[in-house]
Amino acid sequence: MQQPSWMAEAWRELGQSERPGPTHNPRIVAMFDELGHPHQADETAWCAAFVGACLERAGIASTRSLMARSYEQWGIANAAPTAGAIAVLRRGSDPALGHVGFLIGASDAHVYLLGGNQSDAVTVAPFNRDLVIAYRAPPADSENRDVDPNFETALRHVLDMEGGWSDDPHDPGGPTNKGITLAVFARERGIDVTTDNFAALKAALQSIPDALVRDIYVRRYWQPASCAALRAPLALMHFDAAVNHGVSAATRFLQEVLDVDVDGEIGPITLAAARKAPLRQTVARYGDIRRRRYRALPHFWRFGRGWLRRVDATLAAAARLMPPAMPSNDDPASTQENPFMTGPSDAPITKPYVATETKSWWQSMTVWGTLLTAITTVLPVFGVLVGISITPDIADRLGQDIVLVVQALGGLIGTIMALFGGSRAVALLSRSSRKSD
């Protein structure tokens, strides 16, 4: 039986523990951040943060509270609890205190929970059964209810790329419909593909319902690849790669693009880097990595042209999702129709170089662009490492404020220098005129 999607998220955190001293485990701090509780230390009671983060990552609305007993009335009652149910426990005589975790088993005397803040870590631990207040489960239709709206755009693109039914004998994926392979379809139904059921499975795959297609793409690709945590253009590229290359390979592509440790697991460091990386360059580089991967495959001779066209189409689709940028003389690419076409233009250069007035350093757009990039790139990542939540918006506002202050100081200094230079010039002219007299 396939485990609930939120349990897959929970098992990924097994072994994460608090860090002694002033530093904090960034994976635990990220749980607070994801629920809207920034600036928390890993010493803060975090069992509810663990449960909420796992639910949210699976696309299910949690209570978003840090109180364990907030789950006492959440979802629906689970009278006959099974693995994956949320167990709410009391703690002491205070009705406000408790513990919450995911049920994985039970004996006559104990329940066994996969939970956070159990001996200061994510562990499996036993608890007395008489401490359980309630078993709760998500509403039956909740798992895909809160999917990021960017998913719909990305899904339309992927379905356009995948097309309909295909049964090419050279395709290692085998029979495929709407991007769903026969092997994935069989796993979804909980059966193995055999010579006896092969023909029947193919026929069923050819008439796969659209609702099931969408559900598979959400649970097997969009959510495991953490696409909802990425900005729309990068999410589209990453989702398309997850479908075409596999979630693990796409995750490694993304980490290579972002120049972080390539471990195949998307955590807070990867997400922080993705939030602050230059969006256009990141998506373009992702496309280059996919092209390189395709060319290394043994079936490139057969499918290579189509694969490369898919990368180009995905780049074009991502370009349409890019936020508008103001054209700049310092960034000729910003005026191009396709921002990912970075090669030289075929048009000849007809105007010779003409020297212009030299700008002061505080007037340079390049200097301030570099400073803003450094501030908005480094601060969020550094903040995660030291346990401080600095969102992209905060970093951007901080960068803008610093630039305004320094530019104002630069303007003041320039004004003083200009006044001093003018008075000095007047004095020199006065002396010169006296000498000529």
More confident residue, 57 or 252: 252
The answer to whether the pTM exceeds 0.75 is no
Phi and psi angles of residue 24, each rounded to the nearest 5 degrees, phi first: -135, 150
Residue type at 418 in one-letter notation:
A
Query: What residues contact 229, with CB distance under 8 A and at least 6 apart?
Result: 266, 271, 274
- Kindly state the average pLDDT of the residues 144-169: 80
Q: Is the pLDDT of residue 79 over 60?
A: yes
Q: Is the pLDDT of residue 38 over 50?
A: yes
Query: pLDDT-based confidence at 9, cuts 50/70/90?
Result: confident
Q: What topology is assigned to 150-320 in CATH?
A: Chitosanase, subunit A; domain 1 (1.20.141)
* DSSP state letters, 394-427: HHHHHHHHHHHHHHHHHHHHHHHHHHHHHHHHHH
At the fourth CATH level, the homologous superfamily of domain 5-137 is: endopeptidase domain like (from Nostoc punctiforme) (3.90.1720.10)
Across 32-36, 104-108, 237-241, 320-324, which has the greatest mean pLDDT?
237-241
Q: Per residue in 401-416, is it b (16+ CB within 10 Å) or e — as a string?
A: eebeeeeeeeeeeeee
Query: What residues contact 269, with CB distance under 8 A and at least 6 apart?
Result: 26, 260, 261, 381, 384, 385
Span of 32-46, 219-233, 350-364 with lowest mean pLDDT: 350-364
pLDDT in tens, 89-120: 998 888 788 999 999 988 989 999 999 999 99
| Average pLDDT, rounded, for the chain | 76
Rounded Cα distance, 350 and 183, in Å: 58
* Measured CA distances, 182 to 243, 248, 332 (Å): 14, 20, 47
Q: Is the pLDDT of residue 77 over 90?
A: no
Span of 291-295, 307-311, 425-429 with lowest mean pLDDT: 425-429
Q: Is the pLDDT of residue 372 over 70?
A: no
**Dihedral of the CA atoms 188, 189, 191, 194 (nearest 10)?**
-90
Residue at token pair 């897959």: 8
pLDDT in tens, 229-277: 888 999 999 999 999 999 999 999 999 999 999 988 888 888 889 988 9
